[in-house]
Amino acid sequence: MPYQPPTALPTELLNDGELQRALSEHDFGTVFRLARSRAGIPYARIAEACDIKPIRVGEVARGQGQITTFAKVVAITDALRVPGHMVGLAPRPWEGNGSPGNENAPENGTAVRRRTVLQAATTAGLAAALPALHRPTAPLHVTTGYVDQLRQRTARLRRLDEILGGGDTYRVYLSEYQSTKSLLRDATFTPSSRRRLVTILAEQAQQAGWAAFDGGRQADAESLYEESKAAAREADDGDLLGNALAFLAYQAPDPQVAVEIAASSCAAIGPGSPAGVRALLHERLAWACAVAGQASRTERALNAARAALDEKPDGEPQPDWAAWVDETELAIMTGRCWAELRRPLRAVPVLLRALDQYDDHHARDKALYLSWLADSYLAAGEVEEAAAVTGRALTLASGVASVRPRQRLAPVLQELHQYRGVSAVQNVLQAAGA
């Protein structure tokens, strides 16, 4: 048995329903109280292990304040050695009457499937509802075979993002990242197995960062992307480094800074980078340029992404995190860029063709992409078409634990307000609770 520090919580306490609830809600005041009252762990020892002042631990335990910063949440759960500590469904405050995520909105097949997955999740967390995804027991000595198991598991878990929003997947992905980080600290390796495990850590940090971004946790996302960047550099993986930079560019508040970061992500591409990776990074540069209003540079980046896909050798292996990039995805990005540049005559036909090929199974993403189509219709003066597309986007976004569809649809709905005398617009505004 590996050494467990005195702060580790005993198994009987980990199985306690009250502790599980407290952990899933990041209610560390309750966690601290239970650790002391039921496991005999004094606040001073918790404070030392978690790098928190003892007086702060006592205050939180008495209900005076909360632990909210990403770094401290990670430090506490890591120090207490809580397996699966972040696993669980996040609160979904946006789902209520009068919001785009109103549960009373009409159901479709995709929404029913999403809710089936969510209802299967018990109080033990989402991972408990997915027995095939349980993490294999970590060995004391990590081999390349075990690393391959973790890589396959990371790929399987990524599929959750197809039907669930970041509000639901964030804690699952963060738990995986923290478990791998603990493994790197506690186990022994060959140089090869350690380097490969660090690349998985970089990938998992990006996965968790994306879920944080999608769930409205901007600061957490940025922190995870920075950690991914550091891990990718340690592993000397230029592709993952480029992807970390692309993610950072995606949420940079200054459009000009975003362009610079996105350009540096493309500069990380090496001669051996797979076509899917090259296309992904160039299309993210195109998006940054479009947001910055740089039309000619946007087109050059889109052409570079298209050339990468056209030159893709048959059978070339792609990393799982970039395998979803294809001609349809690039067409959607092309349409988004032209919509952002206020070129509706170029955006609408591209988006229509691409979205016709895009399955409703990807409800969150399709709702987002439809918002750009609605925006382009409005720019072209096609109000009824914009209303119809917005209504479809609202239906698809219903029940998805993501803040982004609401954020994208809010300005569209606001602009539709000036046409509220039009019957189609009235209907969609009522459906949105506007």
pLDDT at 297: 97
d(CA 1, CA 86): 24
In a domain, 419, yes or no: yes
Q: How many CB atoms lie within 10 A of CB 142?
A: 21
215 pLDDT above the threshold of 50? yes
Q: Are residues 149 and 138 in contact, defined by beta-carbon separation less than 8 angstroms?
A: no
Please check whether residues 288 and 387 belong to one and the same domain: no
Q: Are residues 151 and 319 in contact, defined by beta-carbon separation less than 8 angstroms?
A: no
Between 146 and 107, the higher pLDDT residue: 146
Please check whether residues 266 and 305 belong to one and the same domain: yes
d(CA 196, CA 232): 10
Domain C-terminal end among 325, 346, 365: 325
181 pLDDT above the threshold of 50? yes
Number of domains in the chain: 3
* CB neighbour class for 245 (10 Å; exposed up to 12, middle 13-18, buried from 19): buried
Q: What is the DSSP letter of 292?
A: T
Q: Are residues 78 and 181 in contact, defined by beta-carbon separation less than 8 angstroms?
A: yes
d(CA 344, CA 341): 8
3-state SS string for 97-154: CCCCCCCCCCCCHHHHHHHHHHHHCECCEHHHHCHHHCCCCCCCEECHHHHHHHHHHH
Mean pLDDT over the full length of the chain: 82
Of 57-61, 315-319, 353-357, where does mean pLDDT reach its minimum? 57-61
In a domain, 298, yes or no: yes
Domain C-terminal end among 278, 299, 325: 325
In a domain, 64, yes or no: yes
Distances (CA, A) of 245 to 175, 238, 282, 412: 23, 10, 12, 30
Please check whether residues 365 and 263 belong to one and the same domain: no
In a domain, 111, yes or no: no
75 pLDDT above the threshold of 80? no
The mean pLDDT value for 14-26 works out to: 67
pLDDT at 25: 64
Q: What is the pLDDT of residues 183-210, one digit of tens each?
A: 999 999 999 999 999 999 999 999 999 9
Nearest to 271 by CA among 235, 311, 298: 311
Please check whether residues 340 and 306 belong to one and the same domain: no
pLDDT at 105: 39
Domain C-terminal end among 294, 325, 356: 325
85 pLDDT above the threshold of 70? no
Please check whether residues 331 and 383 belong to one and the same domain: yes
In a domain, 430, yes or no: yes
Nearest to 174 by CA among 25, 94, 73: 73
Please check whether residues 403 and 340 belong to one and the same domain: yes
Domain that holds residue 338: 327-434
In a domain, 410, yes or no: yes
Q: What CATH number is given to the structural domain containing 378?
A: 1.25.40
Q: What is the pLDDT of residues 364-418, one digit of tens each?
A: 999 999 999 999 999 999 999 999 999 999 999 888 889 999 899 999 999 999 9
Confidence band (pLDDT; 50, 70, 90) for 10? low
